Amino acid sequence: MKILYFISIIIFLTLQYSLFFSQNSLISYFYLKDKLETNQLELLKTENKNKILQAEIFNIKSNKKYLEIYAREKFGLIKKNETFFQIIKNDKKDN
């Protein structure tokens, strides 16, 4: 009977070791689960950025007025014989 107890304790300890310290342990599971959630959030952010960029590309390709506005805002381009004025706000308040 003692041998049966001894074998069952060995099996139990082996299972406990594999549950907590092996490559497929609970610790690894929770770490990988957290990493998966982080990667999924990052993927959603990237997909949203891609959708915005695709809409912007579509607008640039299909609408010349939008292309002109985009070129003015992003690159500071101006038309021929056009004067450019840049207004700079002064955030300092004089006392």
Task: Quote the pTM value.
Answer: 0.57
Q: Is 71 exposed, middle or buried (0-12, 13-18, 19+ CB in 10 A)?
A: middle
- Render pLDDT for 9-45 as a digit per residue (tens, 0 to 9): 999 888 888 877 777 888 888 999 999 999 999 999 9
| 66-91 tens-digit pLDDT | 888 888 888 888 888 888 777 888 87
Block residue for tokens 């805002």: 73
Kindly tell me the burial class for residue 44, based on how many C-beta atoms sit within 10 Å of its own C-beta (0-12, 13-18, 19 or more).
exposed
Can you tell me the distance from the alpha carbon of 93 to that of 37, in angstroms, rounded to the nearest whole number?
Answer: 47
The phi and psi torsions of 82 (rounded to 5 degrees) equal -120, 140
Give the torsion sign (CA, 28, 31, 34, 39).
negative
